Structure 1
């Protein structure tokens, strides 16, 4: 038994934001039917290198626990099939440019006629209204527009993007949360609803304390590289061996422990550094002083001493380090799943650990159209009818 057993999701998404949303739902038991364009499918099936065999590593990373059905919405028969699926489904998720679903005749108001209780979630770059609604959007564009790149990078350097497509993934997470909220509300009052998720809205909501600093000072916060804007020392330092490590002194109590751990108790009661407020004011002198001190020993030795004194500290791992880390492995955040053409594929694990209804990796990332026959048979179509659909480019 999984938390979302019995929930069916019709997934008309591609790229990352939408597929990440439906990945989250599928991991915890929802029956996700991924509806793709015949012949090509999700854009990310072609995104590479790298490829594993003939499969895009990108696609494989975000499309497990889904079944693939191909439908050509230019054909009336395909739209008929979709609306037939809607009758027995709970959720529709799509991330086309606003207006595209209306042109297909599959917008919320139309779909709701087939199932008044449907939860219909649209994910787009800028939302379903406003002056930017028709603009195309990819993650890097959104990281810039949302202000994220203005606060990421070295103070004297160029703006930098985050190393993953965080605005896509963030929008997908907001969408999954929204879908679950709407399903809960439907349980209370019996009504579905429409959900409008914007990548820009999602990222602006994530600005949190950086937005708070802007509201407080009425000036944009600046890039601080590896440092924190309001806590010092709370940043990365380099050890003698050229490796970097992080230190997070989040309170004056931790500052006392930090000074003891790094054998610089002379700093603890120094009036220029005795409290976080003055440490922030004197960041320009304290950070270089500490960096010079940390160049006297290798990074791992500093981390060990800091952790021994209960000071938050840790190495800056690359992904080879991450996926061999004993804590990551213990928490089953590296998994493997059988695949029909690749024998097996590695996957990141499930981050939510339920005590009664755990999720799981039950289905490999699907081949394009892999489940056409089984899904259409369940809808009552015969083998002859399905073959006719193939001939007429419906599926």
Structure 2
């Protein structure tokens, strides 16, 4: 039996009912669970969340991605396409604070599980609805994935090198942003519920979550006609701030674009005169000669190994950082000191290393209490404890494909 009393996070005592699958909805549930909420995840009895099958590396057939996005959740099998499965969901929603779903808009309404239906039995319920285009508008019924939201929100166009087509960031950032805004919206709605006693719908569209992070790209065009383009690793006219090669085949990021910091970099390079050279002495001058300056810095960094280069630049108080990969994260002393990565016991894999919960709280920290559970691992527990069903009733529901 799952011991929920061990939850100490700031959301301990709250219950979230997670419907939907893949990333956009489940990551929202992960965030709430990380902070202590009791997250009950409803999954199709036959296959469960497709995330159980995702990921290139699957030791012993186990999805490592699922171990992260499914963590801190209780898995309950429930066929939402059946009348009895819908009844299970309705009864669980009656006892929930937050419901998370990322079906295509209108799906829950067809199942009799729309917000109006559920609010009739639980007016305090907050429903987080994550979708590609939102619950309204001419595109709302389109199939919407994170990649499409990233394109429509403007992110894909500005990511990558100018010599290549628009690029992916390397992670499912659109889905995760929509999930994060969904979690933020849920917390804001909880505060509002404190005043009014009523819940509401939080409508988090992927393309809008991406758009929210697009800085001043819209007013730049609206006011001046300027469209930001792909610039690779640089920020145009801000130099030196780039990724530079090292002697041992690595890469290092140096951000020395402020006047005083550039002078420190020049001294670190053994060329203090560069700091006073009229070609590079000011922010504007360095921006105008960005390529030339980057080439000078790269010629220097390419003669020194990465670790030694870090020491030199840190000794001169120049902002510097390696381009981290997973091996670097696991070996880094700062990661280790702050427990940024934790090892979580896993029934089949021993322990699984994964990112800790963030942000940090001084009094009520979040925690990773268990990795993504087996499909239906908590079905009997939840249906007996929360709904009062007998073992015979649960067995019948399972045999009929409803649970």
TM tier, shorter chain?
over 0.9
* Aligned twin of 2:28: 21
Q: CA deviation at 1:220?
A: 1.4
Name segments (4+ residues, structure 1) moved above 6 Å: none
Measured at CA, do residues 380 and 90 of structure 1 come closer, stay the same or move farther in structure 2, by a change above 3 Å? same
Query: 1:243 and 1:162 mapped to 2: Cα distance?
Result: 20
Aligned to 1:203: 210
**1:296 matched residue in structure 2:** 303
Offset from partner CA, 1:276-328 (integer Å, 9 cap, x none): 12211221322222222322322332222111111110111221111211111
Q: How do residues 54-69 of structure 1 correspond to structure 2 at under 5 angstroms?
A: 54-69=61-76
Partners in 1 of 2:19 and 2:45 — Cα distance? 13
> What's the counterpart of residue 380 of structure 1?
388
Contact 2:237-2:286 at 8 Å conserved across structures: no
- Structure 1 unmatched runs, 5+: none
- Which stretch shows the higher mean deviation, 291-300 or 73-82? 291-300
Q: Contact between 1:248 and 1:311, CA under 8 Å: does it hold in 2?
A: yes
Pick one of 91, 98, 119 that aligns with 1:112. 119
* SS across alignment from 1:89: coil
- Checking the alignment, whether the CA contact within 8 Å between 2:146 and 2:173 is kept in structure 1 is yes
- Does residue 34 (structure 1) correspond to residue 48 (structure 2)? The answer is no
Worse-superposed segment, 109-118 or 260-269? 260-269
State the alpha-carbon separation in 2 of the partners of residues 364 and 162 from structure 1.
Answer: 26
3-state SS of 1:133 partner? coil
Rounded Cα–Cα distance in structure 2 between residues aligned with 1:394 and 1:210: 49
Q: TM-score, length-normalised on structure 1? A: 0.95
Shift of the 211–243 alpha-carbon distance from structure 1 to 2, 3 Å rule, reads farther
Provide the residue aligned with 2:144 in structure 1: 137
Q: Secondary structure at the match of 2:252?
A: strand
Give the deviation of 1:73 after TM superposition.
1.5
Could you tell me which of 390, 397, 402 is aligned with 1:394? 402
Counterparts of 2:392 and 2:281, CA distance in 1: 80
- What SS does structure 1 have at the residue aligned with 2:188? helix
1:366 matched residue in structure 2: 373
RMSD: 1.7
How many Å separate the matches in 2 of 1:264 and 1:209? 37
User: Greater shift after overlay, 365-374 or 295-304?
Assistant: 295-304
Q: Offset of 1:48 from its aligned partner?
A: 3.8
Match of 2:4 in 1: none
- Normalised to the residue count of structure 2, the TM-score between the two structures is 0.93
CA positional deviation for 1:4: 0.7
Output aligned runs, 1:1-395, within 5 Å: 1-211=8-218, 213-215=220-222, 217-378=224-385, 379-395=387-403
* Equivalent-residue separation in structure 2 for 1:243 and 1:215 (angstroms): 41
In the TM superposition, what is the alpha-carbon distance from 1:209 to its structure 2 partner? 4.4
Report deviation, 1:138: 2.4
Contact in 2 for aligned 1:231/1:249 (Cα 8 Å) = no
Distance 1:209 1:195 in 2: 25
- 2:3 is aligned to none
Q: Does the CA contact (< 8 Å) of 2:133 and 2:149 recur in 1?
A: no
- Tell me how far apart the structure 1 counterparts of residues 217 and 309 of structure 2 sit (CA, whole Å): 30
From the superposition, tell whether residues 230 and 178 of structure 1 become closer, same or farther in structure 2 (CA, over 3 Å): farther
Query: Match of 2:331, SS?
Result: coil
3-state SS, counterpart of residue 303 of structure 2: coil
Q: Given that residues 125 and 142 in structure 1 are in contact (C-alpha distance below 8 angstroms), is that contact kept between their aligned partners in structure 2?
A: yes
Task: Give me the whole-angstrom Cα distance separating, in 2, the residues matched to 1:33 and 1:335.
Answer: 23
User: Residue 25 of structure 1 aligns to a residue in which SS?
Assistant: helix
For 2:189 and 2:257, the matched residues in 1 are separated by 37
Shift of 1:212: 5.6
Shift of residue 217 of structure 1?
A: 4.0
